[in-house]
């Protein structure tokens, strides 16, 4: 009888240790998963989160930058959706990417290209002044040749509209930019003196 109870006790101990190890390992794997930074992650990475489809991913990207995960509600996500993805995402500060080595540019081209825009900071009340400060006096952005970052530096143009401008190329005249979704006459007035078509 005593031999049987020692055997049961041995198996119980073994089973308890095994369960504990499984729990520790599964907890470690969850902790090992890297949280996605909603300020820098791509739309495809966002779509890999359960419950986040292409439409929600675009809303999240369009609303950048975020200071807290709760600010995702400003992008049109419901409180339930925010709570569902909260354990999988984080909000980091946007870090400027290292500048590429400067290529020699002909004098004419240099005057039509805006300097590269650093990573977005918190939205300011006066975006026009902020963007205009990034353009040297007399410099204009060529909407047929500018990079996404250069277009993003224009007042009222974020990363989504910058990509839409690139996708809509070529433009015959500066006014053609109003064919881009989200760029109406008001937005055009803010940038018309800062853009050219070549």
Q: What confidence score (pLDDT) does residue 145 get?
A: 93
Query: In this model, does residue 121 exceed pLDDT 80?
Result: no
Helix (H, G, I), strand (E, B) or coil at 137: coil
Residue 61 binned pLDDT confidence (cut-offs 50, 70, 90): confident
Give all domains of the chain, ordered by start, each with its CATH number: 36-90 (1.10.150.320), 107-196 (1.10.150.320)
Average the pLDDT over each of 104-108, 127-131, 165-169, 172-176 and give the range with the smallest value: 127-131
d(CA 48, CA 37): 13
pLDDT score for 23: 58
Position 26 scores a pLDDT of 53
Of 24 and 181, more confident: 181
Residue range 60-70: mean pLDDT, rounded = 85
Buried b (16+ CB within 10 A) or exposed e, 67-78: eebebbeebebe
Query: Which of these, 68, 43, 39, lies nearest to 56 by C-alpha position?
Result: 43
| Percent helix, strand and coil across the chain, each to the nearest 5 | 50, 5, 45
Question: Which residues, 6+ apart, have CB-to-CB distance to 189 below 8 Å?
Answer: none
Please report the pLDDT score of residue 33 as a whole number: 55
pLDDT of residue 50: 81
How does pLDDT run across 7-52, given as a tens digit for each residue? 656 667 776 777 666 555 555 444 445 788 888 888 888 888 887 8
pLDDT of residue 119: 47
How far, in Å, CA of 171 to CA of 20, rounded? 64
Q: At 172, is the pLDDT very low, low, confident or very high (cuts 50, 70, 90)?
A: very high
């Amino acid at each position: 009888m005593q031999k049987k109870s020692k055997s049961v006790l041995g198996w119980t101990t073994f089973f308890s240790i095994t369960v504990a190890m499984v729990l520790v390992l599964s907890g470690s794997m969850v902790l090992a998963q890297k949280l996605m930074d909603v300020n820098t992650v791509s739309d495809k990475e966002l779509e890999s989160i359960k419950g986040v489809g292409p439409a929600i991913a675009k809303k999240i990207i369009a609303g950048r930058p975020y200071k807290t995960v709760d600010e995702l509600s400003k992008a049109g996500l419901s409180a339930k959706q925010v709570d569902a993805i909260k354990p999988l995402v984080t909000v980091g500060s946007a870090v400027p990417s290292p500048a590429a080595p400067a290529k020699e540019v002909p004098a004419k081209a240099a005057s039509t290209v805006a300097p590269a825009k650093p990573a977005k900071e918190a939205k300011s009340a006066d975006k026009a002044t902020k963007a205009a400060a990034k353009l040297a006096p007399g410099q204009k952005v060529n909407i047929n040749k500018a990079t996404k970052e250069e277009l993003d530096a224009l007042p009222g143009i974020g990363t989504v509209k910058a990509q839409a401008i690139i996708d809509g190329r070529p433009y015959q005249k500066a006014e053609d930019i109003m064919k881009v979704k989200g760029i109406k006459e008001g937005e055009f007035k803010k940038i018309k003196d800062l853009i050219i078509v070549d």
